[in-house]
Structure 1
Amino acid sequence: MESKKPDNIVYSEDEGYNASLLSYSTSVGAPVIKMDDVVSWKSRGISTVNKEFENKFSELKLQYEKLMQEFEWNELVYNSKFSFEPVIGEIYHLYSNNDGTNSLSLIAPNEWNKEHLGTFKLNSDKKWIHIA
C-alpha cells in the first residue's frame, strides 16, 4: 500500500516536495487567490479617458468658433471701403452704408448717423481685434 500524504502537503511524484518553487501559495493558512477585477478597471479607465477627450474636444470647438469669428470680422473689415492706411494700435469704426457696402472710419458712432457694425483695433500682426 502507498503511503498517503496529508492534503495540506504539496508532493509530486516527479518533483517531490516543491511547495517553495510554486508561483501560488500551498498552505491552508495562505491568503485566498483572487483574480483582479480587470473589467471594472477597464470601464473606469475608458470612462475617464472619454471624459478627457470630450473636454478637450469642447475646448477645441470653442477655440475653433472663436477663430472663425475673428476670421469673419477680419474679412468684413478688410473687404470694407477705406481710403487711408490704418495705423497699428488706433481704434476704427465699421459702418454699413445705404448701398449695402461697409466702410471703415475714424469717426465715432456718437458723431455719425450711420449703422455702426463694430469697433476695431489693428494689432501688430495686421489682425483686426473686435472691441465692441
Structure 2
Amino acid sequence: MVQAYNFLASWQLFPEKCDFQFGTVPKSGNYKIESIKNGHQLSVSINWVSLTNDAFYTQYNVKPDGALHPFDNQELADTITANIANASTIVTSFIKEEQTILEVTNEILANGYMKVTHKGLNDNKEPFVNTEVYHKQMSVLPYASSVSGVAIRPTKEGMIKHKALTAMEEQTNMQLDQIKQQIELLARQAQDISKRKELSLMIYEASLRFKPQIGQTYHLYEQRDGAHMLSLVSPKEWGGSGPFKQFVASVRLLADHTWVEVG
C-alpha cells in the first residue's frame, strides 16, 4: 500500500478540464481516497453536484492486490479487482457476469493533478470514455465526480451533507475574507507607518531654524549640497523651488511627533 500513498487525499474536480461522453456532467466535485483496514484496503468516497444542483454520493472499498473480491452492490457488479500498476497508476475493474462493465484508472500526472478515466458501456451498450481531472485539496468540500461512475445515486444523506457542507464553506469563506481584509488593512497601515518613519527621519536630519508646531504644514526642500531643509515658505511663495535644488514635499507634524506628507 506504500505505492498508493500519492492517492491518499481529498481531490477537487476541475470541471473545465474534464471530458464526458456519457452521464450527467457535474459542476463541482470531490473524490476522496483513504487507507483502511491497517492499510490493506482503500476507501473511495465520491460526492458531487450536478448542473441542476442535485447532490449525489457513493462510497466503496477495494483491496488493490490484483485479485477478485465480492462487490457490495451486486446490482452493479458481482466482483471488483484493483491493481496498483506503479506509484502513479491504479486500475480498478467492476465485473458483472464475468464481463468488465466499468474500468476506472486513477493516474497521478506530472503536475500533481489526478486524472480519473472511466471506460464502460452506456445504456445502449456502446463504449464510452469519461475523463476527469482533480487537484489535491487541504479540506473536504461537498462535491465529486461523474454520474456514470460507481452506482452514484441521489440520496437524502447526500442532500443533507451537501447543504450542511455548503453552509460551512460559505461561513468559513466569509470568515477568511474578513481576516484577509483585516490583514490587508494592517499591511496598508504598516506601510503608511513605515513611510511616515522614513519621512520623519529625513526631516529630523534636516536643517531646522524654528520649532515646528503640531498640526502645522511646512515644506521640505533638498539643498544644492544634498542636505534637506524645512521651511515655512511654500514653493509657490518661492516661485518654483526657490533657492533650493528641488522641492521634496509639503509635510505636517502629527501629535506623535511623526511627519506625514500632505497635499
Q: TM-score, normalised by structure 2?
A: 0.34
Q: Could you tell me whether the CA contact under 8 Å between 2:221 and 2:228 is conserved in 1?
A: yes
2:249 is aligned to 118
Separation in 1, partners of 2:216, 2:178: 41
Give matches, 1:43-82, under 5 Å: 43-82=169-208
Residue 109 in structure 1 maps to residue 240 in structure 2: no
- The structure that is helix-richer by fraction is 1
**Unpaired runs of 5+ in structure 2?**
1-155
Q: TM-score, normalised by structure 1?
A: 0.62
Identity of aligned residues (%): 22
Q: Could you tell me whether the CA contact under 8 Å between 2:197 and 2:259 is conserved in 1?
A: no
Residue 95 in structure 1 maps to residue 95 in structure 2: no
2:9 is aligned to none
Separation in 1, partners of 2:166, 2:217: 59
Q: May I ask how many residue pairs the two structures share in their alignment?
A: 100
SS at match of 1:57: helix
| CA-CA distance at 1:70 after TM superposition | 1.6
**Unpaired runs of 5+ in structure 1?**
1-33
| CA-CA distance at 1:39 after TM superposition | 2.7
1:30 is aligned to none
AA of the residue aligned to 1:126: H
Query: Which entry has the higher C-alpha Rg, 1 or 2?
Result: 1
Separation in 2, partners of 1:48, 1:118: 41
| CA-CA distance at 1:96 after TM superposition | 0.4
Distance 1:69 1:53, change over 3 A: same
SS at match of 1:43: helix
| CA-CA distance at 1:102 after TM superposition | 0.7
Deviations along 1:41-74, whole A, 9 cap, x unmatched? 3222221211111111111111111121222221
Separation in 1, partners of 2:202, 2:247: 13
